[in-house]
């Protein structure tokens, strides 16, 4: 059992993409569900769904790949957990990071909810930097 459910989800996604799995199951939480929703909107996941098994909610994530079947590569090339339970990282609205000069996505937890760095800049809010995806 993990206290850091988001870190666990990112690690499972990273490992599944590295070995070529099409889907991965992670523990569902409100934070994990919102991050999965952002990853789908940004094109890193094909789909996600919440399944309840024996009273426990599970989040099934389908990883997006590019290329032909034999030479396919995962769209996700990197996942970095920035703010951890042992060390929280907060940024002001002017200091929101650009991941790989705008190619990647920074996911932040703000007073407006869990949103991307681009949305946070548009809304003019800062918050806790959860992770980088590229």
**pLDDT tens series, the chain, 134 aa:** 578 999 999 999 999 999 999 999 999 999 999 999 999 999 999 999 999 988 999 999 999 999 988 899 999 999 999 999 999 999 999 999 999 999 999 999 999 999 999 999 999 999 999 999 99
Phi-psi bin for 55: left (phi > 0), alpha (psi -120 to 50), beta?
A: left
On the question of a common fold for 1-76 and 82-134, the answer reads no
What is the CATH code for 82-134? Answer: 3.30.1490.10
Segments making up each domain of the chain, as ranges = 1-76, 82-134
What is the CATH code for 1-76? Answer: 3.30.1370.30
Confidence (pTM): 0.93
């Amino acid at each position: 059992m993990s206290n850091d459910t988001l870190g666990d989800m990112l690690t499972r996604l990273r490992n599944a993409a590295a070995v070529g799995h099409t889907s991965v199951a992670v523990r569902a939480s409100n934070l994990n569900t919102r991050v999965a929703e952002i990853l789908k909107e940004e094109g890193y996941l094909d789909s996600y769904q919440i399944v309840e098994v024996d009273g426990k909610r599970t989040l099934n994530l389908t990883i997006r790949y590019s290329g032909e079947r034999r030479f396919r590569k995962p769209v996700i090339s990197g996942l970095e957990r920035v703010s951890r339970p042992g060390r929280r990282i907060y940024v002001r609205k002017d200091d929101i990071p650009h991941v790989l000069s705008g190619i990647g996505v920074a996911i932040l937890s703000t007073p407006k909810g869990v949103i991307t760095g681009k949305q946070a800049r548009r809304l003019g809010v800062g918050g806790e930097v959860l992770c980088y995806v590229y």
